[in-house]
Structure 1
Amino acid sequence: MTIGDLIRLLSDGEFHSGEQLGEQLGVSRAAVWKQLRKLESLGIAMEAVKGQGYRLAEPLELLDGARIVAGLSREARGRLSRLFVEETLPSSNAFLRQRFEHGAGHGEVCLVEQQSAGRGRRGRTWTTPWGKSLMLSLGWRVEAGVAALEGLSLAVGVVLARALEHRGARPRLKWPNDVLLETPGGDFGKLAGILVEVTGDASGPCEVVIGMGINVELPEAFRCGLDQPVAAVRDQAPQVSRNDLAVDLLDGLLPLVAGFERQGFAAWQEAWNARHAFAEREIDILSGGQREAGIAEGVDASGNLLVNQAGRRRRLAGGEISVRVRP
């Protein structure tokens, strides 16, 4: 019995006794009770009524691999070699890197309900409640080397933004790899992060794993425990389905990675600049412990951020540079 098995039974909105759940799952009532306690520890709200049993306090949509594959376009389905849907993993990116180590990985996608060691840019942790986010990793083998992947994380941001727009949200992009939503107060909250990891030859075959974590729904109590403004897709698109969003993402991501060696970022430059959150705004540039000011312009055909500093144009690459908008 897994958490997912229990949630599937409880997600019909009806009350189920511990005895009924045990019979349906083929386990003891004690085992059911242990799993119910685990649901509560994961922040999944439960209702318990004496004489009636248990049910979820609110619906919870589980990721459904068969539904996702069935919804893909013919092109995307032809490029997908395998889809994994996992309940818990330390990291979906690490999962696919291990697949590459065993000779697989190319064209494979991993979705996971919750990560225990998810990472963002510069080693930061990425945490979300169980079943409330969309965490997705895609593996791809590239023949032309690392240089051919310049600007890839920004192009992925465009694909993600388009998928969100299709579902009714209005995202903006923050260089180099964040997706934001405007909050009711006019500020921006972080909606999603993108992490691209590359291993292999600088000028020959290499393997890339594209990971992303998207906040679909965030309880208020969870938001209060974070040290930065955050946002969720359902803030603007309350009826969005995680499975439908996964379909939209893969419909865009699989053709993107298949053609990126040939097209490069130049094909995505205009679309990224059209969604630039901080265009023409004053920003702080943090690099090597130093802080400088500038006016953000757009990105160039290589994905570098153009910044105006006292009339002098500067190009910023990624790495250890961080950009923050000035209040």
Structure 2
Amino acid sequence: MTIGDLIRLLSDGEFHSGQQLGERLGVSRAAVWKQLRKLESLGIGMEAVKGQGYRLAEPLELLDGSVIVAGLSRQARSHVARLFVEDVVPSSNQFIRERFAQGAGHGEVCLVEQQSAGKGRRGRTWVTPWGRTLMLSTGWRFESGIAAMEGLSLAAGVALSRVLEAHGVQPRLKWPNDVLLATEGGGYGKLAGILVEMSGDAAGPCEAVIGMGINMDLPDDFRASIEQPVSAVRDQAPGLTRHQLAVELLGELMPMLADFERVGFEAWQAEWNARHAFAEQEVEILQGERREAAVAEQVDVSGNLWVRCDKRRWKLTGGEISVRGRS
């Protein structure tokens, strides 16, 4: 029995006694009780009523790979070699990296309910509650070398934005890898993060793992525990399901990966700049331990962000930016 097996039984909204759960899962009532206690640490609320049993305090939409595959267009499906749905893994990016090490990985997609060691940029931990996000990674092999992947994470942000905008969500993009959403109190909250990891030959075949973590529906107590402002898809699109978002996102993302080596980031440059959250605003640039203030301009055909300060103008090829008091 896994924690995912228990959650799936409880996700029907009905009460289940400890004995019923044990019989369905093939374990003792004591083992069931031990797993029920773990649910609280995963941020999953429970209701317990004497004489009736247990159920989830709120319904959870658990991912089903067959539903996602069935929803894909013919074009998207032609680019998906294999789709995995996992309950818990250290990280979906690591899962795909290991698939590459096994001689697979290209065109493969991994979706997970929860990551035990998920990471964002600069090695930060990416923490999410069970079933409240959409976390996926996909692998793609490029033949022209690492230079062919310039701007790939920015293009992925555009792909996600296109999908969300079709449902009335108004995301903004923060260079290089974040998707933001305006908050009621002003400023922006982080809606999604994108992490692209590359390996291989600088001038020859190389492999990219594109990871995306998207907040779908975050409880208030979880938001309060995060040190930065956060937002969720259902803040603006309450009816959008995780399955629907997964299907539509893969419908944008997989054809983009198939074309990227041929057309480069230039095909997505204008769309990224049109959604640029901090264009012509003063930002703080963080590169290692160095911090510097400048005005953000736009990104170029390679995905570099141009900035200026006084009479000096230069491009950022790495690091990150922030706006004090906002993001």
Fold shared by both chains (TM-score > 0.5): yes
Shift of 1:55: 0.7
SS in structure 1 at match of 2:127? coil
Taking the aligned partners of 2:84 and 2:247, their CA distance within structure 1 comes to 14
Matched to 1:286, the amino acid is L
Are 1:220 and 2:220 an aligned pair? Answer: yes
Match of 1:323 among 316, 321, 324: 321
Shift of 1:187: 1.1
SS in structure 2 at match of 1:94? helix
Q: What's the counterpart of residue 174 of structure 2?
A: 174
Matched to 1:96, the amino acid is I
Shift of 1:64: 0.9
Q: Quick one: percent identity of the two aligned structures?
A: 72
Matched to 1:58, the amino acid is E
Taking the aligned partners of 1:275 and 1:215, their CA distance within structure 2 comes to 19
Q: What's the counterpart of residue 136 of structure 2?
A: 136
Q: What's the counterpart of residue 82 of structure 2?
A: 82
What's the TM-score, normalizing by structure 1? 0.96
Matched to 1:80, the amino acid is V
Q: What's the counterpart of residue 265 of structure 2?
A: 265
Runs of 4+ aligned structure 1 residues displaced above 4 Å come to none
Q: What's the counterpart of residue 159 of structure 1?
A: 159
Q: What's the counterpart of residue 298 of structure 2?
A: 298
Could you tell me which runs of 5 or more consecutive residues in structure 2 were left unpaired when the two chains were aligned.
Answer: none
Matched to 1:30, the amino acid is A
Are 1:274 and 2:274 an aligned pair? Answer: yes
Shift of 1:22: 2.0
Equivalent runs, 1:63-212 vs 2, <5 Å? 63-212=63-212
Taking the aligned partners of 2:11 and 2:94, their CA distance within structure 1 comes to 30
Q: Is the 8 A contact 1:283 1:294 kept in 2?
A: yes
CA shift digits 1:75-129 (9 cap, x unpaired): 1101101111000011111111111111011110001111111111111110111
Deviates more, 1:219-228 or 1:24-33: 24-33
CA shift digits 1:114-167 (9 cap, x unpaired): 111111111111011111111100011111100000110100010111122223
Matched to 1:324, the amino acid is S
SS in structure 2 at match of 1:292? strand
Q: How many residue pairs were aligned?
A: 325
Taking the aligned partners of 2:259 and 2:208, their CA distance within structure 1 comes to 14
Q: What's the counterpart of residue 307 of structure 2?
A: 307
Shift of 1:315: 1.3
Matched to 1:87, the amino acid is D
RMSD: 1.2
Shift of 1:243: 1.1
Taking the aligned partners of 1:174 and 1:312, their CA distance within structure 2 comes to 22
Equivalent runs, 1:222-261 vs 2, <5 Å? 222-261=222-261
Deviates more, 1:16-25 or 1:53-62: 16-25
Deviates more, 1:119-128 or 1:158-167: 158-167
Taking the aligned partners of 2:125 and 2:74, their CA distance within structure 1 comes to 35
Could you tell me which runs of 5 or more consecutive residues in structure 1 were left unpaired when the two chains were aligned.
Answer: none
Shift of 1:213: 0.9
Shift of 1:168: 2.8
SS in structure 2 at match of 1:104? coil
Taking the aligned partners of 2:101 and 2:12, their CA distance within structure 1 comes to 41
Shift of 1:326: 4.2
SS in structure 1 at match of 2:62? coil
Matched to 2:75, the amino acid is E
Taking the aligned partners of 1:130 and 1:143, their CA distance within structure 2 comes to 37
Matched to 2:321, the amino acid is V
Q: 1:291 to 1:40 in 2, by over 3 A?
A: closer
SS in structure 1 at match of 2:196? strand
Matched to 1:322, the amino acid is E
Q: What's the counterpart of residue 31 of structure 2?
A: 31
Deviates more, 1:81-90 or 1:222-231: 222-231
Deviates more, 1:294-303 or 1:108-117: 294-303
Q: Is the 8 A contact 1:167 1:245 kept in 2?
A: no
Matched to 1:247, the amino acid is V
SS in structure 2 at match of 1:158? helix
Q: Is the 8 A contact 1:282 1:326 kept in 2?
A: no
Taking the aligned partners of 2:199 and 2:51, their CA distance within structure 1 comes to 57
SS in structure 2 at match of 1:245? helix
SS in structure 1 at match of 2:279? coil
Deviates more, 1:84-93 or 1:290-299: 290-299
Shift of 1:197: 0.5
Deviates more, 1:227-236 or 1:265-274: 227-236
